[in-house]
């Protein structure tokens, strides 16, 4: 089956309640890494921050705690339902320094200037991330910070190879996303993307969570579940996974019995200052 060009591809993860819950669990696992990247980049108390692809507000909440009451976070998100959920989340957290605007990051028209431009797991879904960044940098003041947290599956695929079932799950999940036009190596592409957007070469870091923690198995299994309709739509061969109903239990056993560690995806941070 032919896949649509990336520019027209719908957002592959969708907006179901199950996906909202998965994003919440993912945020709880990743926020400490994201916070390290943002703080290392120079995001700080009092900053006015433009966040793109704000989703359900998990990154916005994190950034609101960094910038404090004297700062502000403006989140850009194209899905109205996600914004409604994010607003509820922000209210429940008692935050008054976050607001969301509905819109596409390619078509923003703002009057404001910001101290920081940032996002997590958003450039990987854009048809031309460098063009998007180029159109957004005028909203950053000279000397302001541009920082993104994106994923890289290259080290993840390599690390997974020691365990056959786990490796099959990682490979098939990767294929499902790739066929849906998500850039699963956006993290490694950030260097080129910043340069193509007219920004200075970024400082970059790669972090991977390692261990036998069941949260790692769960994270990828849940990603697989999310992308399963796309895997079916694109006819990706899943026979290496065996019976799907017993898959999770077999994965857990494989990790437990292997005396080996598994990893998260490669978590990449890249940041620079606008000249
Ligand atoms: C994987 S979610 C990440 C949400 C959040 N940044 C996080 O890490 O929890 C990506 C979000 O980007 C939004 N998005 C994708 N393409 C967009 C675009 N062109 N303009 C605005 N938002 C977009 C999606 O609707 C989705 O909510």
Separation CA 244–CA 250 (nearest Å): 10
Residues 6+ apart with CB under 8 A from 203: 40, 41, 270, 271, 272
Examine residue 244 and state whether it is found in any structural domain, yes or no.
Answer: yes
Residues facing residue 152 across a β-bridge: 266
Q: Which among 39, 35, 41, 78 has a CA at the least distance from the CA of 58?
A: 35
Average pLDDT over residues 78-91: 95
Give me the number of domains the chain comprises.
1
Examine residue 56 and state whether it is found in any structural domain, yes or no.
Answer: yes
Separation CA 203–CA 65 (nearest Å): 23
Examine residue 51 and state whether it is found in any structural domain, yes or no.
Answer: yes
Residue the block writes with tokens 């020691």: 162
Ligand 1 site, residue 53, Cβ cutoff 6 A? yes
pLDDT for residue 12:
76
Q: Two tokens at 259? A: 């005396």
Q: Two tokens at 111? A: 């009057």
Distance 126 CA to ligand 1 centre (A): 9
pLDDT for residue 56:
95
- Asked if residue 2 has pLDDT above 50, the reply is no
Global pTM reads 0.94
Distance 175 CA to ligand 1 centre (A): 20
Q: Two tokens at 78? A: 């194209």
Ligand 1 site, residue 55, Cβ cutoff 6 A? yes
Q: What is the CATH number of the domain that holds 182?
A: 3.40.50.150
Q: Please, are residues 212 and 151 in contact by the beta-carbon 8 Å criterion?
A: no
- Asked if residue 9 has pLDDT above 80, the reply is no
Q: Rounded to the nearest 5°, which phi and psi values hold at 77?
A: -145, 140
Roughly how many angstroms between the first and final C-alpha of the chain, as a whole number? 45
Separation CA 163–CA 72 (nearest Å): 45
Examine residue 111 and state whether it is found in any structural domain, yes or no.
Answer: yes
- Asked if residue 38 has pLDDT above 60, the reply is yes
Length of the chain: 275
Q: Please, are residues 37 and 149 in contact by the beta-carbon 8 Å criterion?
A: yes
Interval 221-264: pLDDT, tens: 999 999 999 999 999 999 999 999 999 999 999 999 998 999 99
Examine residue 1 and state whether it is found in any structural domain, yes or no.
Answer: no
pLDDT for residue 68:
97
Examine residue 255 and state whether it is found in any structural domain, yes or no.
Answer: yes
Q: Two tokens at 206? A: 């790669």
- Asked if residue 1 has pLDDT above 90, the reply is no
Going 241 to 242 to 246 to 251, the CA torsion angle's sign is: negative
- Asked if residue 3 has pLDDT above 80, the reply is no
Number of the ligand 1 atom closest to the C-alpha atom of 30 = 8
Residue the block writes with tokens 């607001």: 99
Band (11; pLDDT cuts 50, 70, 90) = confident
Mutate to test the pocket of ligand 1, among 53, 61, 109 (most ligand atoms within 8 A of CB): 53
Mutate to test the pocket of ligand 1, among 31, 103, 125 (most ligand atoms within 8 A of CB): 125
- Asked if residue 13 has pLDDT above 60, the reply is yes
Domain that includes residue 130, residue range: 6-273
Average pLDDT over residues 205-228: 95
What's the mean per-residue pLDDT of the chain?
Answer: 94
Band (115; pLDDT cuts 50, 70, 90) = very high
Band (53; pLDDT cuts 50, 70, 90) = very high
Residue the block writes with tokens 């193509």: 196
Examine residue 167 and state whether it is found in any structural domain, yes or no.
Answer: yes
Distance 77 CA to ligand 1 centre (A): 6
User: Of all helices (H) and strands (E), which one includes residue 118?
Assistant: strand 114-120
The angle that helices 164-179 and 247-258 make with each other, rounded to 10 degrees, is 130
Distances (CA, A) of 107 to 28, 80, 102, 135, 226: 30, 16, 11, 8, 28
Residues 6+ apart with CB under 8 A from 45: 66, 67, 68, 70, 71
Q: Rounded to the nearest 5°, which phi and psi values hold at 31?
A: -60, -35
């Amino acid at each position: 089956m032919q896949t649509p060009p990336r520019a027209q591809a719908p957002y592959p993860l969708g907006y179901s309640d199950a996906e909202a819950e998965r994003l919440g669990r993912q945020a709880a696992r990743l926020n400490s890494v994201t916070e390290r990247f943002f703080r290392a980049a120079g995001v700080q108390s009092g900053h006015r921050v433009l966040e793109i692809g704000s989703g359900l507000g998990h990154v916005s909440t994190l950034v609101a705690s960094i910038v404090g009451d004297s700062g502000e976070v403006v989140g850009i998100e194209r899905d109205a339902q996600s914004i409604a959920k994010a607003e509820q989340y922000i209210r429940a957290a008692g935050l008054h320094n976050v607001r969301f605007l509905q819109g596409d990051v390619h078509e923003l028209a703002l009057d404001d200037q910001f101290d920081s431009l940032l996002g997590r797991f958003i450039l990987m879904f854009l048809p031309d991330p460098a063009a998007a960044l180029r159109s957004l940098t005028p909203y950053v003041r000279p000397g302001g910070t541009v920082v993104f947290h994106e994923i890289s599956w290259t080290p993840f695929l390599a690390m997974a190879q020691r365990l056959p079932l786990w490796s099959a799950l990682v490979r098939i999940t990767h294929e499902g996303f790739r066929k849906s036009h998500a850039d699963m190596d956006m993290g490694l592409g950030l260097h080129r993307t910043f340069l193509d957007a007219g920004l200075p070469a970024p400082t970059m870091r790669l972090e991977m969570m390692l261990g036998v923690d069941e949260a790692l198995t769960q994270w990828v299994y849940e990603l697989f579940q999310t992308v399963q309709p796309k895997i079916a739509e694109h006819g990706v061969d899943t026979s290496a996974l065996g019976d799907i109903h017993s898959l999770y239990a077999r994965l857990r056993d494989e990790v437990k019995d292997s005396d080996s560690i598994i990893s998260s995806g490669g978590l990449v941070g890249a940041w620079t200052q606008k000249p």
